[in-house]
Structure 1
């Protein structure tokens, strides 16, 4: 089932998400719905807060990047089959020199900006079967994971921009929260007045 994606301005996007256990109700169905929602919106990642749930769950499928000719053949190969569910994730380390990459977000449509992030991360998480993993990622994989991880920390990519850039984007962000944009996927806007 395709779920509406929560737009910029909704308080759920600002809350630090809570850990879950394997007792979480209908988790398998939720994960399936999240994949369907993400693919419908042409995303490469989706976090539970983006569908209104403040829980530490996100998923990533970087296969759309595998055709990017600016990437090395090795990086394309790594991205091609990378599809994972991350539950209760914690990033332990971020290493290397910050690098810029143009990011967007399904909750903030029509805005893309260069964001600085570390090129390598070590992350501990549980998969959909609650098996524990600790893995190190670099390059574009690390970046996509960091972006989704930020969502479960209550952080948006726009928070990482300069104060000047934030001021320049303020009116566009306000329009998004009021639903004054054209998107080709279902969204829930926090500032649309309910009709009585």
Structure 2
């Protein structure tokens, strides 16, 4: 189900609670909402649809992916960029890393670890910031 976007910065600034298998419907709603905003959005976190859980979805070079409880465990290659967000107006400067290693769980709660680079790494970093209550 496509959900309304959360724009309350007080809510968005909260650190997300751990996600469980009970939160799969939230991931489904996130994917539906991302698809509905595909013309201007490449990633979303659960707090962007009003759910304070650590779940992100993103476009990984044309394939939509989801991560439960994502954690960046390694970063390399710091650079400065500008980003926008559906929950906020305008663009803001931020620092990102060219390469990251992420640990997360899938919807069966199996743990994965993978390296990501470039644009996909930037998207993941933005969405993990959302999970940590960091507003960009």
Instruction: Give the structure-2-normalised TM-score.
Output: 0.89
- State the 1:130 CA deviation: 1.3
Q: Distance in 1 between matches of 2:95 and 2:14?
A: 22
Counterpart of 1:40?
Answer: 36
Q: Distance in 2 between matches of 1:140 and 1:88?
A: 21
Counterpart of 1:121?
Answer: 100
Counterpart of 2:134?
Answer: 155
Match of 2:82 among 102, 108, 118: 102
Give the number of equivalent residue pairs: 134
In 1, are the aligned partners of 2:43 and 2:59 still within 8 Å (CA)?
yes
2:80 is equivalent to residue 93 of structure 1: no
Aligned residues: CA RMSD? 1.5
Q: Distance in 1 between matches of 2:19 and 2:74?
A: 22
| Deviation sequence 1:62-81 (CA, Å, 0-9, x none) | 4xxxxxxxxxxxxxxxx233
2:14 is equivalent to residue 30 of structure 1: no
Counterpart of 1:2?
Answer: 2
- State the 1:12 CA deviation: 1.8
- State the 1:38 CA deviation: 1.5
- State the 1:29 CA deviation: 2.7
- State the 1:141 CA deviation: 0.9
Larger radius of gyration: 1
Higher helix share: 1
Structure 2: where are the runs of 5+ without partners? none
Pairwise mapping of residues 158-177 of structure 1 onto structure 2 (< 5 A)?
none
Q: Distance in 2 between matches of 1:101 and 1:156?
A: 15
For the residue of structure 2 that corresponds to 1:147, the secondary structure is helix
